Chain A
Amino acid sequence: AQSVTQPDIHITVSEGASLELRCNYSYGATPYLFWYVQSPGQGLQLLLKYFSGDTLVQGIKGFEAEFKRSQSSFNLRKPSVHWSDAAEYFCAVGVFDFGNEKLTFGTGTRLTIIP
C-alpha cells in the first residue's frame, strides 16, 4: 500500500525567505504526486501535480516541486514566501487502480510566516 511522510510538522519562515517542504512517498510503481494547501477554515486547494515527464513541476502561487525517484521525494519549494502563504500543506500520492482513483495524504506541514 502507498504511504506519504511529511517529516516536518511545523515550519517557521521569515517573509521573503525561501521555503522547502519535504515529502517522501512509498509506492511500488511510478506515483502520481500532488501538493495541496489548506488555509484555516477552508478546503484543500491543489498547488501542483506530477504525473510524468519533466520532474520539475510548476504550480500556482509561485510554487514548484521536484520529483526525485531515487530519493522517493517530492519536495515543495518557493523562492520567496509571502505572509499569505501561511497555511497547512499536504503532500499526497495518487493511485489509479482497477478504475478507482485514490489519494493518500501525509499528515501535513503547518507553515508560519514571521515579519
Chain B
Amino acid sequence: EAGVAQSPRYKIIEKRQSVAFWCNPISGHATLYWYQQILGQGPKLLIQFQNNGVVDDSQLPKDRFSAERLKGVDSTLKIQPAKLEDSAVYLCASSLGDRVNEQYFGPGTRLTVT
C-alpha cells in the first residue's frame, strides 16, 4: 500500500512570495489533514477535509493560507504572501475517517522563509 505522498520535500522562498504544497493521500482515505510543525513543537492542525469538504479550518490563517481538496483526493495548501514565521514543516496526513483512526503521515515539506 502506497503511503501519503507530499511534494516538494524542501522549499526556500523569500518573505512576501507565494508557495504551494501538494499532498496525495492513501487511496480510499476520506479524511485529509494539513498540519504545521514549527521547530521544537508538536504538529498543529491547520485544516481538515472530509472527502472534498472542509470540516475544520479554525486554526488556518485565512488571510494568507488557503487549501483545497480536488475531487476528494489530492490536496494543495497555499501560502500567499509568506511571512518569516511560516517557516516550518508542513505535514499531510490521511485516515479512513469513520471513527478515531490512525492517521498516516507523509514525509512533510520543510519550508524556509528568508
Contacts and interface: CB of A to CB of B under 8 A. Distances in A.
Contacts of B42: 4, 90, 92, 105-108
Interface stretch (B66-74, B77-85, B101-109): B101-109
Contacts of B107: 41-43
A105 B50 CA distance: 20
A96 B30 CA distance: 15
A5 B48 CA distance: 23
A58 B48 CA distance: 29
Contact of A102 (B4, B41, B56, B104): B56
A51 B99 CA distance: 11
Contact of A44 (B44, B95, B105): B105
Interface string A26-70: 000000101010000111111001010000000000000000000
Nearest to A44: B105
Contacts of A92: 42
B43 A105 contact: yes
Given A43-B91, A43-B105, A100-B56, A107 B40 contact: yes
Given A90-B42, A101-B101, 10 more contacts: A34-B102, A43-B91, A90-B43, A96-B100, A100-B50, A101-B95, A101-B97, A101-B100, A105-B44, A108-B40
The 10 closest A-B pairs by CB, nearest first: A105-B42, A43-B105, A44-B105, A96-B100, A94-B100, A32-B100, A101-B100, A43-B107, A100-B55, A46-B102
